[in-house]
Structure 1
Amino acid sequence: MANKRVVLSDVAQMAGLSKATVSRYLNNSIVLPQQTVQRIENAINTLGYRANSLARRLSMGGSETIGLVLPDIANPFFAELADAAEEAASEYKYSLVLCVTRNNLEKECQFIRWLDTRQVDGLLFTTNRPDNGQLYTELKDQRNVVLIDEDVPGCEVPKVFSDNVHGGELATQALIDAGHRRIAFVGGPDELMSVRERHQGYRQALAKGAIAYDPALVLYGDYDRVFGRQALDTLLALPTPPSAIFAASDYLALGLLDGVRARGLSVPGSLSLVGFDDAIYSDLITPRLSTIRQSARELGRTAVEALIQRLNDDASPNTVSRIPVAWIARDSVSAYPPKP
């Protein structure tokens, strides 16, 4: 008996009250005389009763929990976003549950369905995978969702993105200003909004610099380090290789650096390189990576604020918030042509 779990009926019996009365007291849905309150509290303390807080919150119509759906937490950018989102959610008295999908569609859909079972009150949703229509089908009737960093076309919910076009233009313009004219673009999947927008900025900078666009210098693939290295092999095999590369993420830039080192080359001596994200490691690697800063913290915090508004206001708009970006100059870009 010593190990028997104490339940609500045990508290009610010791306090000499009905189970319904004790339950309503714990849910703050009834006002009782102080003497009755003391009987309940004495019973709770004596028995060591620990209420099932999730069940209590669900009975009141919500879980006071937000889900954060991320494709990958090994990527420091997403880890920083998660940290900021948890901090912001806590300020609003919400718990945050981390849901890692590894870009698996079945897992993404599973977490969206948590909204139907009220396991979470709302979702902050990020994907790094082009939608084949199934995510839209799962999300189209959901209201308490905010999309972060990447779009799911057609979904009418609040969205928080970085200013990708401006970032792509800033990155490419920095390479043009350093004298480069043969500049490659290495991006993730070309169906993704972020990739298309960063490519758009790249093309805008080339046009402003009166530099001809060469499709052979544009490569798309997975948003990961392995593809970065593969892309370098492809670019260096061209009859006229690029002198500089704009990588649409710092993670891709790491893969490009892997390939450069494997060939006995160097950045920026053999090749100038620019990333996108300003992930925490960008200032720690050698060479320190010149990049576009998009604030993962600002993305996470802004998304939480948009979701809280959504949860508290039936009339909250389906806005698209754009987080500003900035050029961060470090050591991975040098002038071209190099000095003799």
Structure 2
Amino acid sequence: MPAGIKDVAAQAGVAVGTVSNYLNHPELLSPTMAQRVADAIDEVGFVPSSAGRQLRLGVSSVIGYLASDIGNPHFGEVAASVQNRAAQLGLSVFLADPQHDEEREATYLDAFAQHHVRGLLVASHHQVEARLALLRRRGTPSVLVGQHAASPEQPSVSIDEVAGGRLAIEHLAEVGCRRVAFVGGPHSIVQVAARRAGAETAARERGIAFEAFDVAERSVSAGRGIGEAIASRPPHERPDGVFAVNDLLALGMLRTLTAEGIRVPGDIALIGYDDNEFAEASLIPISSVSRRHREVGEIVVDALFETIQGRPLAAVHQQLMPVLVPRESTLGRRRA
């Protein structure tokens, strides 16, 4: 049977209430007494129940993080940053991945609230603000991640995705591309639509021919399919530059295009989005637009922590500028 609080008290030779104070109100004990109890805990192998303590005190050291697509390396890198920053602030993170399922997403949000987490970080592709407002009224604050909130009461941290789309097309133009293609979807996702809008505007301003390939999912497999469609065209009908809405699509396209004997970037320059580690490590390193995942993870945790503490945020809606990360898949075109 696992050791309990009475076993600790007996080992330390103190009252059960003293052990309880050590666990819940350590400031009430002298350093000598606190060390005595700590030694007894180690000796008997007692594991405190944080859940029980949270129920008694009405507080929790846990925050919930609802990720939109943990299978995408970008979101995995954001999650790692979130956990690191939360640990620095004495918080633990419960992670949930609804896998694009809106009903499952709602279930997770309700579960987080029922477990009395201190707050929520929510990265969603759905219309979630009404539900977050309800949870906020019930005492669970939140920060919307990766999407600019419509409500002035809903803190959010996002990337200027329109600017990101512009960056990608402007870079393709600078390396000499005159016929560019946008590969992405579904356009019901706000971030995808914003990147396309920025890309189309930049192409129009530069006098560059623009076309779009719609995909149902942003995966390596979908990228390979688009690569096959482009490779099947006569060379003079192919785009000479491609902007993939994420790096997974770009990786799939790179694999197919090179297998078909199409030179990247000599024949087609290729740029992705997210700047994940696989793009950099690819056989031909892929240019990308960085969403600054490490910074985003730290900023969202800090914003939630300030909200939990009841302190006003300097900016309710924080929007970061994306950063162009040029690599061989576009830069090599200048030498081709």
TM-score (norm 2): 0.83
TM-superposed deviation, 1:328: 1.9
Counterpart of 1:250 (choices 247, 256, 275) is: 247
Contact 1:139–1:155 (8 Å) recurs in 2: no
DSSP-derived class of the 2:243 partner: strand
- The code of the aligned residue for 1:83 comes to A
Task: Describe how 1:283-302 pairs up with structure 2 within 5 A.
Answer: 283-302=280-299
Q: 1:81 to 1:244 in 2, by over 3 A?
A: same
Contact 1:148–1:161 (8 Å) recurs in 2: yes
TM-superposed deviation, 1:63: 1.8
Q: What is the number of residues matched between the two proteins?
A: 329
Task: Describe how 1:104-183 pairs up with structure 2 within 5 A.
Answer: 104-127=101-124, 129=125, 131=126, 133=127, 135-143=128-136, 144-150=141-147, 156-183=153-180
TM-superposed deviation, 1:108: 2.0
Q: Does residue 92 in structure 1 map to residue 89 in structure 2? A: yes
Q: Does residue 219 in structure 1 map to residue 214 in structure 2? A: yes
TM-superposed deviation, 1:298: 0.7
Q: 1:177 to 1:56 in 2, by over 3 A?
A: same
Q: 1:238 to 1:210 in 2, by over 3 A?
A: same
Which consecutive residues of structure 2, in runs of 5 or more, have no partner in the other structure? none
Task: Describe how 1:181-330 pairs up with structure 2 within 5 A.
Answer: 181-211=178-208, 214=210, 216-236=211-231, 240-313=237-310, 315-316=312-313, 319-330=316-327
Task: Point out the more displaced range, 252-261 or 104-113.
Answer: 104-113
**Aligned-residue RMSD, C-alpha:** 3.3
Contact 1:190–1:220 (8 Å) recurs in 2: no
Task: Point out the more displaced range, 114-123 or 191-200.
Answer: 114-123
**Partner in structure 1 of residue 99 of structure 2:** 102
Contact 2:62–2:91 (8 Å) recurs in 1: yes
TM-superposed deviation, 1:233: 3.5
Contact 1:86–1:96 (8 Å) recurs in 2: yes
Identical-residue share of aligned pairs (%): 29
CA shift digits 1:63-99 (9 cap, x unpaired): 2112222244443222221221111111111122332
Judging by fraction of residues, say which structure has more helix: 2
- The code of the aligned residue for 2:291 comes to Q
Contact 1:232–1:260 (8 Å) recurs in 2: yes
TM-superposed deviation, 1:149: 1.9
TM-superposed deviation, 1:26: 2.6
CA shift digits 1:104-149 (9 cap, x unpaired): 334322321233223521222223x4x2x5x445323123221222
TM-score (norm 1): 0.82
Measured in 1, the distance between the counterparts of 2:162 and 2:87 equals 32
- The code of the aligned residue for 2:97 comes to V
DSSP-derived class of the 2:170 partner: helix
CA shift digits 1:296-320 (9 cap, x unpaired): 1011111111110111116447722
DSSP-derived class of the 2:330 partner: coil
Measured in 1, the distance between the counterparts of 2:214 and 2:229 equals 9
CA shift digits 1:194-252 (9 cap, x unpaired): 1111112102211221345x5x5342431222222223344455683322111111111
